[in-house]
Amino acid sequence: MPDLTALAAELGAGVVERIFINLARRTPPQALRVFGPRLVPTFNYFQTALVLAGMDYLDAGDVAGIADALVSRHGYTSRRLGYSLDDLVRRKLLTPHAARRAGVALRRAKLLPRVRPQPAVERLRDWARDVRARRRPPVPRAALDYGTVFDTFPNLARARAVEGKP
């Protein structure tokens, strides 16, 4: 069996773009900021799908399929889906342009309620912001300060001490 460290070295740095965590216990997302921008706290898999669509890993049809499964199998409503979408835009995990793109597909599938159309000028502004954001060079990621992480999450530090890990 190949050594995992050797395989990771072959891939190089920066392979993991995002780490998604489902907030099943309703932890406030801002409490997890200490872990850096790579960690994406979401409240449901619809939000995870929306962020992946915003990164161009899923298309709007995939997002609509996930939303449809949540509605038909798990009792989600169009209002709850709308709140989830708005929450991502508010937390700046999804650009308004990407949200609008997903919203169009979701409305066509009758998974989100119809809304008053946004003026073309506002749609163009959102699109331009999205393009500018994609063109910006990536912000260098600072190394995590694990002392701060352990201070913020004392149970994590205690668990590691019980396991005998530094």
pLDDT in tens, 79-99: 999 999 999 999 989 988 889
The distance from CA 138 to its chain's CA centroid, rounded to whole angstroms, is 17
Q: Among 57, 59, 58, 78, which Cα is nearest to 67's?
A: 78
pLDDT at position 127 is 74
Find where tokens 């809304």 sit. Answer: 115
Residue 158 has pLDDT above 60, yes or no: no
Residue 15 has pLDDT above 80, yes or no: no
| pLDDT tens per residue, range 35-84 | 888 899 999 999 999 999 999 999 989 999 999 999 999 999 999 999 99
Beta strands in 47-153 (DSSP E): none
Beta strands in 9-150 (DSSP E): 19-22, 39-42
pLDDT at position 163 is 54
CB 47 within 8 A of CB 88: yes
User: What's the whole-model pTM score?
Assistant: 0.70
Q: Among 12, 13, 35, 9, which Cα is nearest to 23's?
A: 35
**In the predicted model, what is the mean pLDDT of residues 120-144?**
70
Ordered by start, the domain boundaries in the chain are 12-114
